Amino acid sequence: MLVARARAVCPALADAPVVERWAGVRPRASTRAPLMGVWPGKPGQFVFNGGFKIGFAMAPVLAEVMADLVLDGVDRIPAEFRLLTGPKL
């Protein structure tokens, strides 16, 4: 259904093959805490995911913490939000 709609909206996609399918399931950790940090084994890549309902209110502060890590290498991530030491998935 989605592919048909995309092709209807953009005729240039009419003969384009479907390369990959994704379920569109929203990722979530086992707790409501966000997960943040350097992606293990992926230099220069980071994870900033989750937060569930608290994420909306905390987003500005967490974004600053993550920006400090990404842009300046300054790690101020709270221990309970750390990707490797935080909640287990």
Residue located via tokens 């890549």: 45
2: Cα separation from own chain's centroid: 23
Ranked by mean pLDDT, the top range of 25-34, 35-44, 50-59, 78-87 is 35-44
pLDDT tens digits, one per residue of 39-76: 888 888 998 887 767 667 888 899 999 999 999 999 99
Of 67, 29, 22, which is closest to residue 49 (Cα–Cα)?
Answer: 29
Q: Are 63 and 51 in contact (CB under 8 A)?
A: no
- pLDDT averaged over the chain? 82
